[in-house]
């Protein structure tokens, strides 16, 4: 009996060590490790990389299209923009987002943008708008519906999609009709950080002299696309007050916004919740997929086009 107990204890201990090692690796090089873990833990599905497209001279200006190659329907499109403090990140590392979200009956596009000096404001917004414009013009070829687009992002990527959706100039300049944006999903996003409060925001925004006009909270309007904003209450990198401020401003303007605050979660936890095996706690994943279904299920416009 003692031997059995000892063996069980050793197995449990090794599992805890392995789990801790994985979490440490995720914190150091999160998306790439997370993608590998998800690929192993999630098993096989029909979702494949359908297309990879360069959008500029910078290698980060690119996008990847994922979907079921056997689908013949025009599906809603989920455009996801990565985080990384406008300094790091690569859409190649976010296949777990595509495999999991697309398996629910969507096309997923992973979008990149210029980083560091090349990506200083407004380059990150221009590149996010360029990804959206390419999708609107070309996604029908890969089974997507160009009039049913949901923009999404984590951290800096959540800023990018919120700003281009709210400040109308960016999508208008890229030739994207407002009616095609059916919703926005923000995970742990910075939306109200002026005066600039970190090295990354001072480098990406303060260094070029842009001010309060760079903030999503200052561009809310009653006809904004519906938004789902998710934040961990224990997030010390991007404080939850960012989501509270944007949600309150949207509500005050009469726009549609839903929030999901997770009491025990830190900054990267909402992202982990979209990957296996963490997806077994389905609260965030289900909220995101329900949001897409609710706002992009119909093929008729749900908001008036802005002139």
In this structure, the number of other CB atoms found within 10 A of the CB of residue 116 comes to: 14
pLDDT value at residue 297 = 80
Q: pLDDT value at position 21?
A: 47
Question: Over its length of 307 residues, how does the chain's per-residue pLDDT go in tens digits?
Answer: 555 444 344 343 444 444 444 555 445 558 999 999 999 999 889 999 999 999 999 999 999 999 999 988 899 999 999 999 999 999 999 999 999 999 999 999 999 999 999 999 999 999 999 999 999 999 999 999 999 999 999 999 999 999 999 999 999 999 999 999 999 999 999 999 999 989 999 999 999 999 999 999 999 999 999 999 999 999 999 999 999 999 999 999 999 999 999 999 999 999 999 999 999 999 999 999 999 999 998 654 434 444 3
Nearest one of 260, 257, 248 to 295, comparing CA atoms: 257
DSSP state of 86: T
Q: What values do phi and psi take at 69, rounded to 5?
A: -65, -15
pLDDT of residue 30: 81
Which of 196, 54, 225, 189 has the alpha carbon at shortest distance from 121? 196
157's CB contacts (< 8 A; 6+ apart) are: 80, 81, 82, 83, 84, 89, 189
The residue ranges of DSSP E strands in 55-111, in sequence order, are 62-67, 75-81, 107-111
CB 170 within 8 Å of CB 164: yes
The predicted model scores a pTM of 0.89
How far is 307 from 299, CA to CA, in rounded Å? 21
With a CB cutoff of 8 Å and minimum separation 6, the contacts of 23 are none
In order of their start, the domains of the chain are 45-296 (3.40.50.1820)
Over the stretch 158-213, which tens digit does the pLDDT of each residue have? Answer: 999 999 999 999 999 999 999 999 999 999 999 999 999 899 999 999 999 999 99
**What pLDDT does residue 1 have?**
52
How many helices (H) and strands (E) the chain has is answered by: 9, 8
Alpha helices (H) along 145-280 = 156-166, 169-174, 199-204, 241-253, 269-272
pLDDT of residue 72: 85
């Amino acid at each position: 009996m003692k031997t059995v107990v000892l063996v069980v204890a050793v197995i449990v201990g090794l599992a805890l060590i392995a789990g801790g090692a994985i979490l440490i690796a995720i914190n150091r090089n999160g998306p790439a490790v997370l993608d590998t873990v998800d690929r192993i833990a999630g098993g096989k599905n029909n979702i494949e990389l359908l297309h990879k497209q360069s959008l500029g001279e910078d290698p980060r200006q690119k996008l990847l299209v994922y979907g079921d190659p056997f689908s013949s329907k025009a599906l809603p499109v989920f455009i996801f923009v990565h985080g990384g403090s406008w300094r790091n990140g690569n859409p190649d590392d976010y296949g777990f987002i595509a495999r999991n979200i697309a398996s629910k009956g969507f096309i997923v596009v992973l979008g990149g943008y210029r980083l560091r000096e090349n990506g200083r404001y407004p380059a990150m917004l221009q590149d996010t708008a360029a990804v959206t414009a390419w999708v609107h013009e070309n996604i029908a070829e890969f089974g997507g519906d160009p009039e049913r687009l949901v923009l999404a992002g984590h951290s800096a990527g959540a800023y990018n999609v919120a700003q281009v959706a709210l400040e109308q100039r960016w999508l208008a300049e890229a030739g994207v009709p407002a009616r095609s944006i059916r919703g926005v999903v923000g995970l742990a996003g910075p939306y109200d950080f002026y005066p600039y409060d970190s090295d990354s925001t001072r480098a990406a925004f303060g260094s070029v002299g842009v001010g309060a006009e760079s903030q999503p909270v200052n561009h809310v309007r009653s006809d904004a696309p519906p938004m789902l904003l998710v934040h961990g209450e224990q997030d010390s990198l991007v404080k939850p007050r960012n989501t509270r401020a944007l949600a309150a401003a949207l509500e005050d303007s009469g726009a549609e916004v839903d929030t999901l605050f997770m009491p025990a979660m830190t900054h990267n936890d909402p992202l982990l919740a979209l990957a296996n095996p963490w997806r077994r706690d389905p609260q965030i994943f289900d909220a995101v997929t329900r949001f897409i279904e609710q706002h992009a299920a119909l093929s008729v416009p749900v908001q008036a086009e802005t002139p």
